[in-house]
Amino acid sequence: MKVKSPLEIYKLLPQTNCGECGFDTCMSFAAHILDRSAKIEDCKPLVEQAKKSKKVAEKLKKLKEMTAPEIDEVIIGKDLKIGGEEVLHRHELTFFNPTALFFDVSDIMDEKTIDERCSRVVEYKKFYVGRYLTLDGIAVRSVSNNPDKFAEVVKKVSGYGKPIVLISLNPDCIKKALDFVTNPLIYAANEENWKEMLKIAKKNKVPVVVRSKDLDMLKSLAATFKKYEVPVVLDPVTEPAGRGLQKTFERVIQIRRTAILGQDKDINCPIMVTPISAWAMKADEIAKIYWETVIASLFIVKYADIMILHSLEPHTIMPIVTLRANIYTDPRTPVQVEPGLRAINNPDRNSPVLITTNFALTYYTVESDLQSSGASGWLLVLDTGGLGVEVSVAGGQFTPEKVKQLMEETKVAEKVDHRYLVIPGLAARLQGALEDEIGWKVLVGPTDSGRLKAWLEENWPPKKEIKN
Protein backbone atom coordinates (compact mmCIF):
# COMPACT_ATOMS: atom_id res chain seq x y z
CA MET A 1 0.00 0.00 0.00
CA LYS A 2 1.66 3.15 -1.20
CA VAL A 3 -0.53 5.54 0.80
CA LYS A 4 0.53 6.33 4.38
CA SER A 5 -2.14 8.78 5.55
CA PRO A 6 -5.95 8.42 5.61
CA LEU A 7 -6.15 12.00 4.31
CA GLU A 8 -4.74 10.86 0.95
CA ILE A 9 -7.62 8.39 0.66
CA TYR A 10 -10.22 10.83 2.00
CA LYS A 11 -9.45 13.35 -0.77
CA LEU A 12 -10.66 10.84 -3.38
CA LEU A 13 -13.81 9.76 -1.50
CA PRO A 14 -17.26 11.41 -1.99
CA GLN A 15 -16.87 13.16 1.43
CA THR A 16 -20.64 13.03 2.05
CA ASN A 17 -20.46 11.05 5.32
CA CYS A 18 -23.46 8.99 4.14
CA GLY A 19 -22.59 6.02 6.36
CA GLU A 20 -23.34 3.36 3.71
CA CYS A 21 -19.87 1.91 4.24
CA GLY A 22 -20.74 1.19 7.87
CA PHE A 23 -18.68 4.04 9.32
CA ASP A 24 -19.87 7.43 10.55
CA THR A 25 -17.62 9.55 8.37
CA CYS A 26 -15.58 9.28 5.18
CA MET A 27 -12.45 10.05 7.20
CA SER A 28 -13.17 7.12 9.52
CA PHE A 29 -13.73 4.92 6.47
CA ALA A 30 -10.39 6.10 5.03
CA ALA A 31 -8.60 5.15 8.26
CA HIS A 32 -10.11 1.66 8.13
CA ILE A 33 -9.04 1.24 4.51
CA LEU A 34 -5.52 2.10 5.61
CA ASP A 35 -5.44 -0.70 8.20
CA ARG A 36 -7.25 -3.07 5.80
CA SER A 37 -10.34 -3.53 7.94
CA ALA A 38 -12.43 -2.03 5.11
CA LYS A 39 -12.32 -2.16 1.30
CA ILE A 40 -12.69 0.58 -1.31
CA GLU A 41 -15.63 -1.34 -2.75
CA ASP A 42 -17.52 -0.78 0.53
CA CYS A 43 -18.10 2.83 -0.60
CA LYS A 44 -21.27 2.09 -2.59
CA PRO A 45 -21.85 5.67 -3.84
CA LEU A 46 -18.31 5.79 -5.27
CA VAL A 47 -18.73 2.44 -7.02
CA GLU A 48 -22.12 3.44 -8.45
CA GLN A 49 -20.93 6.85 -9.61
CA ALA A 50 -17.90 5.26 -11.28
CA LYS A 51 -20.27 3.35 -13.58
CA LYS A 52 -21.72 6.64 -14.84
CA SER A 53 -18.77 9.03 -14.75
CA LYS A 54 -15.37 8.59 -16.36
CA LYS A 55 -13.88 11.10 -13.92
CA VAL A 56 -15.16 9.16 -10.90
CA ALA A 57 -14.03 5.89 -12.50
CA GLU A 58 -10.51 7.34 -12.67
CA LYS A 59 -10.71 8.22 -8.96
CA LEU A 60 -11.81 4.69 -8.13
CA LYS A 61 -9.00 3.21 -10.21
CA LYS A 62 -6.46 5.49 -8.53
CA LEU A 63 -7.78 4.54 -5.08
CA LYS A 64 -7.45 0.85 -5.86
CA GLU A 65 -3.88 1.32 -7.07
CA MET A 66 -2.96 3.43 -4.02
CA THR A 67 -4.39 0.93 -1.56
CA ALA A 68 -3.29 -2.30 -3.24
CA PRO A 69 -0.85 -4.34 -1.11
CA GLU A 70 2.82 -4.28 -2.10
CA ILE A 71 2.76 -8.06 -2.59
CA ASP A 72 0.11 -9.50 -4.90
CA GLU A 73 -2.64 -11.49 -3.23
CA VAL A 74 -3.26 -14.89 -4.84
CA ILE A 75 -6.29 -17.08 -4.15
CA ILE A 76 -6.09 -20.89 -4.17
CA GLY A 77 -9.25 -22.97 -4.17
CA LYS A 78 -12.35 -21.06 -3.11
CA ASP A 79 -10.92 -18.59 -0.66
CA LEU A 80 -7.41 -19.42 0.59
CA LYS A 81 -5.42 -16.19 0.27
CA ILE A 82 -1.64 -16.02 0.18
CA GLY A 83 0.60 -12.98 -0.20
CA GLY A 84 -1.02 -9.57 0.17
CA GLU A 85 1.69 -8.33 2.52
CA GLU A 86 2.63 -4.68 2.96
CA VAL A 87 5.82 -4.59 5.00
CA LEU A 88 9.08 -6.37 5.76
CA HIS A 89 8.59 -6.34 9.53
CA ARG A 90 5.28 -6.88 11.30
CA HIS A 91 5.92 -4.12 13.84
CA GLU A 92 5.62 -1.69 10.91
CA LEU A 93 2.01 -2.76 10.33
CA THR A 94 1.18 -6.46 10.60
CA PHE A 95 1.32 -9.61 8.50
CA PHE A 96 -2.09 -10.43 7.04
CA ASN A 97 -2.32 -13.83 5.30
CA PRO A 98 -0.66 -16.60 7.33
CA THR A 99 1.78 -18.91 5.56
CA ALA A 100 -0.33 -21.62 3.88
CA LEU A 101 0.76 -25.14 4.87
CA PHE A 102 0.26 -27.88 2.26
CA PHE A 103 1.14 -31.54 2.87
CA ASP A 104 1.96 -33.92 0.06
CA VAL A 105 0.55 -37.12 -1.34
CA SER A 106 1.88 -38.78 -4.50
CA ASP A 107 0.23 -40.68 -7.31
CA ILE A 108 2.25 -43.83 -6.52
CA MET A 109 0.95 -44.09 -2.94
CA ASP A 110 -1.67 -46.74 -2.30
CA GLU A 111 -5.26 -45.65 -1.62
CA LYS A 112 -5.03 -46.37 2.10
CA THR A 113 -1.97 -44.15 2.53
CA ILE A 114 -3.54 -41.35 0.51
CA ASP A 115 -6.73 -41.54 2.59
CA GLU A 116 -4.79 -41.56 5.85
CA ARG A 117 -2.69 -38.54 4.91
CA CYS A 118 -5.61 -36.53 3.52
CA SER A 119 -7.72 -37.31 6.59
CA ARG A 120 -4.94 -36.15 8.92
CA VAL A 121 -4.66 -32.86 7.03
CA VAL A 122 -8.42 -32.30 7.12
CA GLU A 123 -8.90 -33.33 10.75
CA TYR A 124 -5.86 -31.64 12.31
CA LYS A 125 -6.98 -29.12 14.90
CA LYS A 126 -5.00 -27.62 17.79
CA PHE A 127 -6.61 -25.29 20.30
CA TYR A 128 -4.36 -22.32 21.00
CA VAL A 129 -5.17 -19.03 22.77
CA GLY A 130 -8.85 -18.97 21.93
CA ARG A 131 -8.80 -20.45 18.41
CA TYR A 132 -8.17 -23.65 16.54
CA LEU A 133 -5.03 -23.94 14.43
CA THR A 134 -5.54 -25.99 11.26
CA LEU A 135 -3.73 -27.05 8.11
CA ASP A 136 -4.50 -25.49 4.75
CA GLY A 137 -4.28 -27.93 1.87
CA ILE A 138 -2.93 -30.94 0.03
CA ALA A 139 -0.18 -31.02 -2.60
CA VAL A 140 -0.52 -33.85 -5.11
CA ARG A 141 2.82 -34.92 -6.63
CA SER A 142 3.05 -36.64 -10.01
CA VAL A 143 5.79 -39.22 -9.43
CA SER A 144 4.53 -41.66 -12.06
CA ASN A 145 4.49 -38.96 -14.77
CA ASN A 146 1.35 -40.69 -16.02
CA PRO A 147 -1.44 -38.14 -16.76
CA ASP A 148 -4.27 -40.65 -16.19
CA LYS A 149 -2.87 -41.92 -12.90
CA PHE A 150 -2.17 -38.40 -11.68
CA ALA A 151 -5.69 -37.23 -12.61
CA GLU A 152 -7.20 -40.20 -10.79
CA VAL A 153 -5.42 -39.30 -7.54
CA VAL A 154 -6.27 -35.60 -7.93
CA LYS A 155 -9.94 -36.53 -8.35
CA LYS A 156 -9.79 -38.58 -5.16
CA VAL A 157 -7.99 -35.87 -3.17
CA SER A 158 -10.36 -33.14 -4.37
CA GLY A 159 -13.15 -34.96 -2.53
CA TYR A 160 -11.60 -33.90 0.78
CA GLY A 161 -12.54 -30.29 0.08
CA LYS A 162 -9.14 -28.73 0.77
CA PRO A 163 -7.27 -26.38 -1.60
CA ILE A 164 -4.86 -28.28 -3.84
CA VAL A 165 -1.42 -27.74 -5.36
CA LEU A 166 -0.80 -29.78 -8.51
CA ILE A 167 2.89 -30.75 -8.68
CA SER A 168 4.24 -31.80 -12.05
CA LEU A 169 6.61 -30.41 -14.64
CA ASN A 170 4.68 -32.32 -17.29
CA PRO A 171 2.02 -30.05 -18.85
CA ASP A 172 0.02 -33.12 -19.95
CA CYS A 173 -0.35 -34.23 -16.32
CA ILE A 174 -1.50 -30.77 -15.25
CA LYS A 175 -3.92 -30.47 -18.17
CA LYS A 176 -5.58 -33.81 -17.36
CA ALA A 177 -5.83 -33.12 -13.62
CA LEU A 178 -7.52 -29.75 -14.11
CA ASP A 179 -10.72 -31.55 -15.10
CA PHE A 180 -11.18 -32.65 -11.49
CA VAL A 181 -10.23 -29.68 -9.31
CA THR A 182 -11.30 -26.06 -8.93
CA ASN A 183 -8.69 -23.28 -8.97
CA PRO A 184 -5.63 -25.23 -7.85
CA LEU A 185 -2.12 -23.79 -7.76
CA ILE A 186 -0.01 -25.25 -10.60
CA TYR A 187 3.57 -26.19 -9.70
CA ALA A 188 5.68 -25.43 -11.63
CA ALA A 189 6.61 -23.49 -14.75
CA ASN A 190 10.32 -23.32 -15.54
CA GLU A 191 12.49 -22.27 -18.46
CA GLU A 192 11.79 -25.55 -20.31
CA ASN A 193 8.00 -25.85 -20.00
CA TRP A 194 6.79 -22.28 -19.47
CA LYS A 195 5.11 -21.89 -22.87
CA GLU A 196 2.86 -24.92 -22.36
CA MET A 197 2.16 -23.98 -18.72
CA LEU A 198 1.24 -20.45 -19.75
CA LYS A 199 -1.31 -21.74 -22.25
CA ILE A 200 -2.84 -24.01 -19.61
CA ALA A 201 -2.95 -21.24 -16.97
CA LYS A 202 -4.53 -18.72 -19.36
CA LYS A 203 -7.17 -21.17 -20.55
CA ASN A 204 -8.12 -22.38 -17.06
CA LYS A 205 -7.50 -19.08 -15.24
CA VAL A 206 -5.47 -20.66 -12.46
CA PRO A 207 -2.41 -19.39 -10.53
CA VAL A 208 1.04 -20.77 -11.38
CA VAL A 209 4.33 -21.21 -9.52
CA VAL A 210 7.36 -20.13 -11.54
CA ARG A 211 10.57 -21.84 -10.46
CA SER A 212 14.27 -20.98 -10.82
CA LYS A 213 17.38 -20.53 -8.68
CA ASP A 214 18.47 -17.78 -11.06
CA LEU A 215 16.65 -14.65 -9.89
CA ASP A 216 16.96 -13.01 -13.31
CA MET A 217 15.27 -16.03 -14.90
CA LEU A 218 12.69 -16.08 -12.09
CA LYS A 219 11.86 -12.43 -12.71
CA SER A 220 11.62 -12.99 -16.46
CA LEU A 221 9.22 -15.91 -16.02
CA ALA A 222 7.09 -13.96 -13.54
CA ALA A 223 6.92 -10.91 -15.80
CA THR A 224 5.83 -13.07 -18.75
CA PHE A 225 3.00 -14.74 -16.85
CA LYS A 226 1.87 -11.47 -15.26
CA LYS A 227 1.76 -9.85 -18.69
CA TYR A 228 -1.09 -12.27 -19.48
CA GLU A 229 -2.77 -11.59 -16.10
CA VAL A 230 -1.91 -15.00 -14.69
CA PRO A 231 -1.51 -14.91 -10.86
CA VAL A 232 2.08 -15.84 -10.03
CA VAL A 233 3.85 -17.44 -7.05
CA LEU A 234 7.66 -17.44 -6.96
CA ASP A 235 9.75 -20.49 -6.07
CA PRO A 236 13.46 -19.58 -5.80
CA VAL A 237 14.20 -23.30 -5.07
CA THR A 238 14.69 -24.52 -1.52
CA GLU A 239 18.01 -26.19 -0.75
CA PRO A 240 17.76 -28.02 2.56
CA ALA A 241 21.10 -27.63 4.37
CA GLY A 242 24.46 -25.96 4.66
CA ARG A 243 25.56 -23.41 2.09
CA GLY A 244 22.54 -24.26 -0.06
CA LEU A 245 20.11 -23.31 2.72
CA GLN A 246 22.01 -20.07 3.27
CA LYS A 247 21.71 -19.26 -0.45
CA THR A 248 17.98 -20.04 -0.35
CA PHE A 249 17.55 -17.67 2.56
CA GLU A 250 19.44 -14.94 0.72
CA ARG A 251 17.32 -15.38 -2.41
CA VAL A 252 14.07 -15.16 -0.46
CA ILE A 253 15.20 -12.04 1.41
CA GLN A 254 16.37 -10.39 -1.82
CA ILE A 255 13.06 -11.07 -3.57
CA ARG A 256 10.93 -9.65 -0.76
CA ARG A 257 13.14 -6.61 -0.15
CA THR A 258 13.24 -5.79 -3.86
CA ALA A 259 9.48 -6.18 -4.16
CA ILE A 260 8.63 -3.94 -1.20
CA LEU A 261 11.48 -1.44 -1.01
CA GLY A 262 12.29 -1.40 -4.72
CA GLN A 263 8.61 -1.67 -5.68
CA ASP A 264 9.49 -4.06 -8.50
CA LYS A 265 6.12 -5.17 -9.87
CA ASP A 266 7.63 -8.09 -11.76
CA ILE A 267 8.48 -9.93 -8.55
CA ASN A 268 5.92 -8.53 -6.09
CA CYS A 269 4.45 -12.03 -5.84
CA PRO A 270 3.92 -14.51 -2.98
CA ILE A 271 6.91 -16.76 -2.28
CA MET A 272 6.82 -20.55 -2.08
CA VAL A 273 9.29 -22.46 0.10
CA THR A 274 9.47 -26.28 0.08
CA PRO A 275 10.66 -27.73 3.39
CA ILE A 276 9.78 -31.12 1.89
CA SER A 277 13.17 -30.85 0.16
CA ALA A 278 14.71 -32.04 3.45
CA TRP A 279 13.52 -35.52 2.49
CA ALA A 280 16.03 -35.55 -0.38
CA MET A 281 18.91 -35.36 2.12
CA LYS A 282 21.13 -38.36 2.78
CA ALA A 283 20.11 -38.76 6.39
CA ASP A 284 17.88 -40.86 8.62
CA GLU A 285 14.19 -40.09 9.05
CA ILE A 286 14.62 -38.23 12.34
CA ALA A 287 17.19 -35.88 10.78
CA LYS A 288 14.92 -35.28 7.80
CA ILE A 289 11.96 -34.42 10.05
CA TYR A 290 14.20 -32.16 12.11
CA TRP A 291 15.47 -30.23 9.11
CA GLU A 292 12.01 -29.98 7.58
CA THR A 293 10.78 -28.34 10.79
CA VAL A 294 13.81 -26.03 10.95
CA ILE A 295 13.35 -24.89 7.35
CA ALA A 296 9.62 -24.32 7.83
CA SER A 297 10.20 -22.32 11.01
CA LEU A 298 12.92 -20.20 9.41
CA PHE A 299 10.80 -19.20 6.45
CA ILE A 300 7.58 -18.63 8.36
CA VAL A 301 9.51 -15.76 9.90
CA LYS A 302 11.18 -14.74 6.59
CA TYR A 303 9.02 -14.60 4.23
CA ALA A 304 7.27 -17.69 2.89
CA ASP A 305 3.64 -17.27 1.86
CA ILE A 306 3.07 -20.94 1.10
CA MET A 307 4.94 -24.16 1.95
CA ILE A 308 4.90 -27.79 0.91
CA LEU A 309 5.77 -30.27 3.66
CA HIS A 310 5.76 -34.02 4.14
CA SER A 311 5.88 -35.04 7.81
CA LEU A 312 2.49 -35.20 9.53
CA GLU A 313 3.97 -36.14 12.89
CA PRO A 314 2.58 -34.05 15.78
CA HIS A 315 6.08 -33.02 16.88
CA THR A 316 6.62 -31.58 13.39
CA ILE A 317 3.30 -29.80 12.98
CA MET A 318 2.81 -28.34 16.46
CA PRO A 319 5.86 -26.04 16.52
CA ILE A 320 5.16 -24.90 12.96
CA VAL A 321 1.48 -24.00 13.43
CA THR A 322 2.17 -22.41 16.82
CA LEU A 323 4.98 -20.26 15.43
CA ARG A 324 2.79 -19.28 12.48
CA ALA A 325 -0.02 -18.25 14.83
CA ASN A 326 2.36 -16.09 16.86
CA ILE A 327 3.96 -14.41 13.85
CA TYR A 328 0.62 -13.66 12.20
CA THR A 329 -1.16 -12.41 15.32
CA ASP A 330 -1.72 -8.67 14.94
CA PRO A 331 0.70 -7.07 17.44
CA ARG A 332 -1.47 -3.93 17.54
CA THR A 333 -4.52 -5.75 18.91
CA PRO A 334 -4.60 -7.78 22.14
CA VAL A 335 -5.78 -11.36 21.67
CA GLN A 336 -9.24 -11.52 23.16
CA VAL A 337 -12.26 -13.78 23.63
CA GLU A 338 -15.96 -13.08 23.39
CA PRO A 339 -17.37 -11.40 26.49
CA GLY A 340 -20.35 -13.00 28.22
CA LEU A 341 -21.09 -15.67 30.81
CA ARG A 342 -19.43 -19.10 30.96
CA ALA A 343 -20.63 -22.10 32.95
CA ILE A 344 -17.63 -23.91 34.46
CA ASN A 345 -17.97 -27.54 35.66
CA ASN A 346 -21.79 -27.62 35.59
CA PRO A 347 -22.58 -24.91 38.17
CA ASP A 348 -25.88 -24.79 40.04
CA ARG A 349 -27.86 -22.03 41.75
CA ASN A 350 -25.53 -22.05 44.76
CA SER A 351 -22.28 -21.86 42.78
CA PRO A 352 -20.12 -18.72 43.02
CA VAL A 353 -20.21 -15.95 40.41
CA LEU A 354 -16.72 -14.79 39.42
CA ILE A 355 -15.52 -12.19 36.96
CA THR A 356 -12.45 -11.77 34.78
CA THR A 357 -11.50 -9.85 31.61
CA ASN A 358 -11.63 -10.96 27.98
CA PHE A 359 -7.84 -10.81 27.48
CA ALA A 360 -7.29 -14.33 26.10
CA LEU A 361 -4.30 -15.20 28.30
CA THR A 362 -6.12 -14.05 31.45
CA TYR A 363 -9.37 -15.76 30.52
CA TYR A 364 -7.88 -19.13 29.59
CA THR A 365 -5.65 -19.13 32.67
CA VAL A 366 -8.65 -18.53 34.96
CA GLU A 367 -10.83 -21.02 33.08
CA SER A 368 -8.10 -23.67 33.12
CA ASP A 369 -7.44 -23.20 36.84
CA LEU A 370 -11.15 -23.55 37.61
CA GLN A 371 -11.58 -26.57 35.33
CA SER A 372 -8.54 -28.41 36.67
CA SER A 373 -9.48 -27.73 40.28
CA GLY A 374 -12.96 -29.19 39.79
CA ALA A 375 -14.56 -26.01 41.14
CA SER A 376 -17.99 -25.11 39.76
CA GLY A 377 -18.85 -21.52 39.03
CA TRP A 378 -20.39 -18.90 36.79
CA LEU A 379 -17.61 -16.92 35.11
CA LEU A 380 -18.46 -13.44 33.85
CA VAL A 381 -16.13 -12.31 31.05
CA LEU A 382 -15.93 -8.51 30.82
CA ASP A 383 -15.09 -6.76 27.55
CA THR A 384 -11.99 -4.72 28.39
CA GLY A 385 -10.76 -4.51 24.81
CA GLY A 386 -8.46 -7.46 25.40
CA LEU A 387 -6.63 -5.93 28.37
CA GLY A 388 -5.70 -7.78 31.57
CA VAL A 389 -7.21 -7.08 34.98
CA GLU A 390 -4.66 -4.68 36.46
CA VAL A 391 -4.23 -2.65 33.26
CA SER A 392 -7.98 -2.42 32.57
CA VAL A 393 -8.73 -1.31 36.13
CA ALA A 394 -6.08 1.41 35.87
CA GLY A 395 -7.13 2.40 32.35
CA GLY A 396 -10.86 2.59 32.98
CA GLN A 397 -11.92 -0.45 30.92
CA PHE A 398 -12.89 -2.45 34.03
CA THR A 399 -15.53 -0.27 35.70
CA PRO A 400 -18.55 -0.83 37.99
CA GLU A 401 -20.85 0.52 35.27
CA LYS A 402 -19.57 -1.98 32.71
CA VAL A 403 -19.83 -4.84 35.21
CA LYS A 404 -23.46 -3.91 35.95
CA GLN A 405 -24.24 -3.80 32.23
CA LEU A 406 -22.63 -7.23 31.70
CA MET A 407 -24.59 -8.73 34.59
CA GLU A 408 -27.83 -7.36 33.20
CA GLU A 409 -27.10 -8.58 29.66
CA THR A 410 -26.21 -12.11 30.81
CA LYS A 411 -29.07 -12.23 33.38
CA VAL A 412 -26.73 -13.94 35.82
CA ALA A 413 -28.97 -12.95 38.74
CA GLU A 414 -31.59 -15.35 37.40
CA LYS A 415 -29.14 -18.26 37.54
CA VAL A 416 -28.19 -18.09 41.24
CA ASP A 417 -29.99 -17.78 44.59
CA HIS A 418 -27.29 -15.67 46.25
CA ARG A 419 -25.99 -12.16 45.62
CA TYR A 420 -22.21 -12.50 45.86
CA LEU A 421 -19.67 -11.56 43.18
CA VAL A 422 -16.03 -12.67 43.42
CA ILE A 423 -13.62 -10.22 41.79
CA PRO A 424 -9.88 -10.69 41.09
CA GLY A 425 -7.50 -9.53 43.79
CA LEU A 426 -5.97 -7.08 41.30
CA ALA A 427 -9.36 -5.33 41.12
CA ALA A 428 -9.72 -5.00 44.89
CA ARG A 429 -9.87 -1.19 44.75
CA LEU A 430 -13.23 -1.43 42.94
CA GLN A 431 -14.91 -3.38 45.75
CA GLY A 432 -16.84 -0.51 47.35
CA ALA A 433 -17.84 1.14 44.06
CA LEU A 434 -19.00 -2.19 42.68
CA GLU A 435 -21.19 -2.90 45.71
CA ASP A 436 -22.80 0.53 45.34
CA GLU A 437 -23.38 0.01 41.60
CA ILE A 438 -24.62 -3.59 41.39
CA GLY A 439 -26.20 -4.02 44.83
CA TRP A 440 -24.39 -7.32 45.45
CA LYS A 441 -21.86 -8.19 48.13
CA VAL A 442 -18.42 -8.16 46.47
CA LEU A 443 -15.76 -10.60 47.64
CA VAL A 444 -12.12 -10.03 46.77
CA GLY A 445 -10.52 -13.22 45.51
CA PRO A 446 -6.82 -14.06 45.15
CA THR A 447 -4.52 -12.15 42.79
CA ASP A 448 -3.44 -15.46 41.25
CA SER A 449 -6.16 -17.72 39.83
CA GLY A 450 -3.97 -20.71 40.68
CA ARG A 451 -5.01 -20.10 44.30
CA LEU A 452 -8.74 -20.00 43.50
CA LYS A 453 -9.35 -23.60 44.59
CA ALA A 454 -7.94 -23.04 48.07
CA TRP A 455 -9.68 -19.66 48.33
CA LEU A 456 -13.07 -21.13 47.42
CA GLU A 457 -12.62 -24.06 49.83
CA GLU A 458 -12.10 -21.58 52.65
CA ASN A 459 -14.52 -18.81 51.65
CA TRP A 460 -17.39 -20.48 49.78
CA PRO A 461 -20.22 -20.62 50.77
CA PRO A 462 -19.69 -17.13 52.24
CA LYS A 463 -19.27 -16.79 55.97
CA LYS A 464 -19.86 -13.75 58.13
CA GLU A 465 -16.16 -12.94 58.05
CA ILE A 466 -14.66 -13.25 54.59
CA LYS A 467 -10.92 -13.81 54.34
CA ASN A 468 -9.42 -12.12 51.26
Query: In the Cβ-directed half-sphere of 441, how many Cα atoms lie within 13 Å?
Result: 11
The mean pLDDT value for 168-189 works out to 97
Query: Per-residue pLDDT for 328 more than 80?
Result: yes
CB 466 within 8 A of CB 459: yes
Average confidence (pLDDT) over 84-93: 86
DSSP assignment, residue 184?
P
Helix (H) or strand (E) holding 356: strand 353-357
73-327, which class in CATH?
alpha beta
Taking only the tens place, the pLDDT of each residue in 293-327 is 999 999 999 999 999 999 999 999 999 999 999 99
Q: What is the CB-side half-sphere exposure of residue 152 using CA atoms within 13 A?
A: 12
Could you read off the pLDDT of 374-425 as tens digits, one per residue? 999 999 999 999 999 999 999 999 999 999 999 999 999 999 999 999 999 9
Q: What is the pTM of this model?
A: 0.79
Element spanning 81, H or E: strand 80-83
* pLDDT tens for each residue of 125-161: 998 877 899 999 999 999 999 999 999 999 999 999 9
Q: Is 81 exposed, middle or buried (0-12, 13-18, 19+ CB in 10 A)?
A: middle
- Burial pattern 127-159, b for ≥16 Cβ within 10 A else e, equals eebeeebebbbbbbbbeeebbebbbebbebbbe
C-alpha to C-alpha distances, 37 to 63, 233, 257, nearest whole angstrom: 16, 25, 25
pLDDT of 263 above 90? no
Question: What are φ and ψ of residue 217, in 5° steps?
Answer: -65, -40
Taking phi over 0 as left and psi of -120 to 50 as alpha, with beta for the rest, 334 belongs to: beta
CATH value of 6-67 in 1.10.10.10, 2.30.30.140, 1.10.15.40, 3.40.190.10: 1.10.15.40
Greatest mean pLDDT among 8-22, 47-61, 91-105, 423-437 lies in: 423-437
In this prediction, residue 69 carries a pLDDT of 87
What is the location of CATH 3.40.50.11600 in the chain? 340-459
Asked if pLDDT for residue 331 goes beyond 90, the answer is no
Residues 217-226 have pLDDT tens digits of: 999 999 999 9
pLDDT over 70, % of the chain: 99
Q: What does the pLDDT read at residue 1?
A: 59
Q: Which residue from 317, 320, 314 is spatially nearest to 296, judged by alpha carbons? A: 320
pLDDT at residue 94 greater than cutoff 90: no
Domain 340-459 has CATH 3.40.50.11600: yes
**Does the pLDDT of residue 468 top 50, yes or no?**
no
pLDDT digits (tens, 9 = 90+) for 264-302: 999 999 999 999 999 999 999 999 999 999 999 999 999
Confidence of residue 32 (pLDDT cuts 50, 70, 90): confident
Do residues 189 and 197 lie in contact, with contact meaning Cβ atoms separated by under 8 Å? yes
pLDDT at 207: 98
| Distance between CA atoms of residues 341 and 402, nearest Å | 14
Q: Range(s) for CATH 3.20.20.20 in the chain? A: 73-327
Q: Helix 431-438 and helix 400-410: axis angle, to 10°?
A: 40
Average pLDDT, the chain: 93
Helix (H) or strand (E) holding 355: strand 353-357
- Residue 464: pLDDT band (50, 70, 90) is low
| Residue-level pLDDT at 392 | 94
Averaged pLDDT, 345-359: 96
* Contact between 210 and 233 (Cβ < 8 Å): yes
pLDDT of residue 459: 93
